Protein backbone atom coordinates (compact mmCIF):
# COMPACT_ATOMS: atom_id res chain seq x y z
CA UNK A 1 0.00 0.00 0.00
CA UNK A 2 2.45 2.64 1.18
CA UNK A 3 6.12 1.99 1.91
CA UNK A 4 6.42 4.84 4.40
CA UNK A 5 6.21 3.57 7.96
CA UNK A 6 4.65 6.85 9.10
CA UNK A 7 1.71 6.45 6.69
CA UNK A 8 -1.68 5.47 8.07
CA UNK A 9 -1.94 2.95 5.26
CA UNK A 10 1.37 1.27 6.11
CA UNK A 11 -0.03 -1.16 8.65
CA UNK A 12 -3.15 -1.76 6.53
CA UNK A 13 -0.99 -2.96 3.65
CA UNK A 14 0.93 -5.29 5.94
CA UNK A 15 -2.30 -6.75 7.34
CA UNK A 16 -3.68 -7.27 3.84
CA UNK A 17 -0.49 -9.04 2.83
CA UNK A 18 -0.57 -11.33 5.88
CA UNK A 19 -4.18 -12.32 5.14
CA UNK A 20 -3.35 -13.07 1.52
CA UNK A 21 -0.33 -15.16 2.55
CA UNK A 22 -2.59 -17.25 4.80
CA UNK A 23 -5.03 -17.82 1.93
CA UNK A 24 -2.16 -18.87 -0.33
CA UNK A 25 -0.75 -21.21 2.33
CA UNK A 26 -4.16 -22.85 2.61
CA UNK A 27 -4.21 -23.30 -1.16
CA UNK A 28 -0.76 -24.88 -0.99
CA UNK A 29 -1.86 -27.23 1.82
CA UNK A 30 -4.87 -28.34 -0.25
CA UNK A 31 -2.67 -28.95 -3.29
CA UNK A 32 -4.19 -26.18 -5.40
CA UNK A 33 -0.96 -24.15 -5.51
CA UNK A 34 2.64 -25.23 -5.82
CA UNK A 35 4.53 -25.57 -2.53
CA UNK A 36 7.79 -24.82 -4.37
CA UNK A 37 7.12 -21.08 -4.29
CA UNK A 38 7.22 -18.96 -1.13
CA UNK A 39 3.64 -17.85 -0.35
CA UNK A 40 4.89 -14.31 0.36
CA UNK A 41 6.26 -14.10 -3.19
CA UNK A 42 2.92 -15.20 -4.62
CA UNK A 43 1.14 -12.61 -2.45
CA UNK A 44 3.53 -9.88 -3.63
CA UNK A 45 2.86 -10.86 -7.24
CA UNK A 46 -0.91 -10.73 -6.76
CA UNK A 47 -0.82 -7.40 -4.95
CA UNK A 48 1.47 -5.96 -7.62
CA UNK A 49 -0.78 -7.25 -10.39
CA UNK A 50 -3.81 -5.71 -8.72
CA UNK A 51 -2.23 -2.27 -8.51
CA UNK A 52 -0.79 -2.40 -12.03
CA UNK A 53 -4.21 -3.40 -13.35
CA UNK A 54 -5.74 -0.37 -11.66
CA UNK A 55 -3.18 2.03 -13.08
CA UNK A 56 -3.28 0.62 -16.61
CA UNK A 57 -6.96 -0.25 -16.78
CA UNK A 58 -8.27 2.90 -18.51
CA UNK A 59 -5.78 2.45 -21.36
CA UNK A 60 -5.76 -1.34 -21.79
CA UNK A 61 -9.24 -2.81 -21.55
CA UNK A 62 -11.88 -2.69 -24.27
CA UNK A 63 -14.52 -0.05 -23.81
CA UNK A 64 -17.24 -1.12 -21.42
CA UNK A 65 -15.21 -3.75 -19.55
CA UNK A 66 -15.24 -3.44 -15.80
CA UNK A 67 -12.11 -3.27 -13.68
CA UNK A 68 -13.27 -6.25 -11.61
CA UNK A 69 -13.50 -8.48 -14.70
CA UNK A 70 -10.09 -7.35 -15.92
CA UNK A 71 -8.39 -7.94 -12.56
CA UNK A 72 -10.02 -11.39 -12.28
CA UNK A 73 -8.81 -12.29 -15.77
CA UNK A 74 -5.26 -11.19 -14.99
CA UNK A 75 -5.19 -12.96 -11.60
CA UNK A 76 -6.46 -16.17 -13.19
CA UNK A 77 -3.71 -16.01 -15.81
CA UNK A 78 -1.05 -15.30 -13.19
CA UNK A 79 -2.16 -18.13 -10.91
CA UNK A 80 -1.89 -20.63 -13.77
CA UNK A 81 1.86 -20.36 -13.27
CA UNK A 82 1.56 -21.25 -9.58
CA UNK A 83 -0.80 -24.20 -9.89
CA UNK A 84 0.17 -27.83 -10.07
* Tally of domains in the chain: 1
Residue pair 72/50 in contact by the 8 Å Cβ criterion: no
pLDDT in tens, 22-77: 999 999 999 999 999 999 999 999 988 888 877 776 666 666 567 777 778 888 88
State the pLDDT at residue 84.
65
- Taking the alpha carbons at both ends of the chain, their separation in whole angstroms is 30
Does some domain include residue 1? no
Q: Distance between CA atoms of 58 and 35, rounded to whole angstroms?
A: 35
Q: Distance between CA atoms of 47 and 51, rounded to whole angstroms?
A: 6
Domain containing 75: what range?
8-81
Amino acid sequence: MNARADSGLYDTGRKMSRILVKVIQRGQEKGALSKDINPSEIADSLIGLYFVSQFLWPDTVPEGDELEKEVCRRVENLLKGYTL
